[in-house]
């Protein structure tokens, strides 16, 4: 059973919170302040054993040792127990310090039952994921997950990785563009993790998923009583991301009236909550992402040009999957490994026939679609290798149709080529093109699709040798 340490000096608050957690089937141990909690957590010569806890939920303001001091003590001692802080005051300074010290969430009293349980469930899930990866490999695992979109050695991906390495240590605002599903958020997280802000929070907001009337309060927060229903102050995302990174995904969907306020934040480095008479300084690196053409939106009067100038200090374009098919094998195996671990399956390879189908597909949903296809296929796989029969039927049929339209049949076979060490890159290019042309019975369009290049490139490179 999950054991939670609940810390609060208010008897009524302690009791009501304890009941909520116990009704949700958690084991709860209580303490009246931070010092008492530390005594429960710390082993000593007078105790033969000490209790182990999966989560700590603690108030901020308490006698002897308050919540922030308690959290700092845990951090200094190297404890990895996730901590949720709760307070009746909701000061942004407390929230910022809590996140810096490693708190996983910050709740303002009075909170609803479901708010508490959702916070507890989220904290436990994140903690479980870290432990599953292993204490020694947790950082490596997190870094690996953000690199999935950049697996491979195509020229486009090598260039993207190099640009990320160059821009990450700077304070530059970054605009990331690319089709849906290409991994724009993963690129943003890679920038954050390689920056000097890596220890501070990175917060993401999908502008397309937030109603227009709520977006301003989400970004900038509001004061108590500033409008009907504002029963308590709310910290905005800019304040919560102080000294860290804020990702505004699908920035093209931001209402144009709000764009002027965003521009002011970028220019002045300060935000003003709704209903407040003064501004607060914030130190936030902004990363924006979109699948839309912002220059076209500017021309249509739907996006501010001056804001675009501010966002596009550095522009990173994430390539579509169909334009980097030479990365498919490595990328597919990376996704396969993670999906197999997730579903505890022993699948560790992809057959040649299945790989040919993956190469023939156009992937309109990009890496997100590839992940979905492989995860679904692994669930139904009957052997330790992903076979043609395991793939979705529509994928196989579309690949067969593509093969028939080009060569009259779909062989489902792949060829391997060997290249002597020291062969020039031009000769390797020509050999790869000619071998692929043989496999497609001379269809230059299909060859171009398989190699992830333009068909004109094939004519140009072969014509030079003939």
Q: Write the class of the CATH domain 155-319.
A: alpha beta
pLDDT score of 156 more than 80:
yes
pTM of structure: 0.59
Of 229-233, 305-309, 414-418, which gets the smallest average pLDDT?
A: 414-418
- The structural architecture, per CATH, of the domain 415-466 is Orthogonal Bundle (1.10)
The total of other beta-carbon atoms located within 10 Å of residue 16's CB is 13
Share of the chain above pLDDT 70, in %: 81
Q: pLDDT-derived band of residue 102, with 50, 70 and 90 as boundaries? A: low
- Asked if domains 3-134 and 155-319 share a fold, the reply is yes
Report which of 213, 225, 224, 159 is spatially closest to residue 187, judged by C-alpha positions.
159
* pLDDT score of 290: 96
The answer to whether 438 and 450 have CB atoms below 8 angstroms apart is no
d(CA 462, CA 118): 60
Mean pLDDT of 408-421: 51
Mean pLDDT of the chain: 81
Highest-pLDDT range among 140-149, 409-418, 433-442? 433-442
In CATH, 3-134 is 2.60.120.920? no
CATH for 320-414 (3.90.180.10, 1.10.3290.10, 1.10.8.60, 3.40.50.720): 1.10.8.60
Q: Residue 337 is encoded by which pair of tokens?
A: 């490994």
Q: Where are the domains of the chain?
A: 3-134, 155-319, 320-414, 415-466
With the C-alpha atoms ordered 108, 109, 114, 116, is the resulting torsion angle positive or negative? positive
CA gap 436, 438 in Å, rounded: 5
Looking at mean pLDDT, say which of 107-116, 306-315, 322-331 comes out highest: 306-315
What are the backbone angles phi and psi of residue 351, rounded to the nearest 5°? -65, 160
Question: Angle 352-360/366-380 helices, nearest 10 degrees?
Answer: 150
Residue 314 confidence class, pLDDT cut points 50, 70, 90: very high
Residue 138's pLDDT band, with cuts at 50, 70 and 90, is very low
């Amino acid at each position: 059973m999950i054991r939670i340490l609940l810390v609060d000096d208010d008897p009524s608050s302690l009791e009501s919170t304890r009941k909520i957690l116990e009704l949700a089937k958690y084991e709860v141990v209580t303490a009246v302040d931070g010092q008492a909690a530390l005594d429960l957590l710390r082993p000593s010569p007078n105790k033969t054993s000490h209790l182990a806890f999966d989560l700590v939920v603690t108030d901020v303001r308490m006698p002897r040792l308050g919540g922030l001091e308690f959290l700092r003590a845990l951090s200094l001692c190297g404890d990895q127990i996730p901590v949720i802080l709760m307070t009746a005051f909701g000061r942004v300074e407390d929230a910022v310090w809590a996140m810096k010290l490693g708190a996983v969430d910050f709740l303002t009293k009075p909170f609803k039952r479901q708010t508490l349980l959702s916070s507890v469930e989220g904290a436990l899930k994140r903690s479980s994921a870290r432990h599953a990866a292993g204490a020694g490999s947790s950082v490596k695992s997190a870094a690996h997950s953000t690199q999935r979109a950049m697996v491979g050695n195509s020229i486009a991906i090598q260039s993207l990785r190099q640009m990320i390495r160059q821009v990450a240590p700077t304070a530059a605002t970054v605009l990331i563009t690319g089709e849906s599903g290409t991994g724009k958020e993963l690129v943003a997280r890679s920038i954050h993790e390689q920056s000097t802000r890596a220890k501070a929070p990175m917060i993401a907001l999908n502008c397309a998923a937030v109603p227009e009337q709520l977006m301003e309060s989400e970004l900038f927060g509001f004061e108590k009583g500033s409008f009907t229903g504002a029963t308590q102050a709310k910290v905005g995302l800019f304040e919560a991301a102080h000294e860290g990174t804020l990702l505004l995904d699908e920035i093209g969907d931001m209402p144009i009236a709000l764009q002027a306020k965003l521009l002011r934040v970028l220019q002045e480095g300060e935000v003003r909550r709704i209903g407040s008479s003064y501004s607060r300084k914030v130190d936030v690196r902004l990363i924006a992402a979109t699948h839309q053409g912002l220059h076209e939106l500017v021309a249509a009067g739907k996006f501010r040009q001056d804001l675009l100038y501010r966002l596009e200090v550095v522009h990173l374009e994430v390539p579509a999957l169909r334009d980097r098919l030479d990365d498919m094998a490595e990328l597919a195996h990376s996704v396969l490994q993670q999906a197999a671990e997730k579903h505890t399956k022993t699948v560790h390879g992809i057959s040649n026939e299945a790989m040919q189908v993956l190469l023939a597909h156009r992937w309109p949903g990009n890496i997100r679609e590839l992940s979905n296809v492989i995860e679904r296929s692994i669930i139904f796989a009957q052997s330790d290798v992903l076979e043609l029969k395991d793939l979705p039927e529509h994928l196989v049929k579309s690949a067969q149709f593509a093969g028939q339209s080009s060569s009259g049949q779909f062989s489902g076979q792949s060829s391997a080529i060997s290249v002597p060490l020291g062969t020039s890159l031009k000769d390797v290019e020509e050999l790869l093109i000619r071998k692929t042309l043989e496999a497609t019975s001379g269809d230059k369009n299909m060859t171009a699709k398989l190699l992830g290049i333009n068909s004109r490139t094939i004519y140009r490179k072969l014509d030079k040798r003939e």
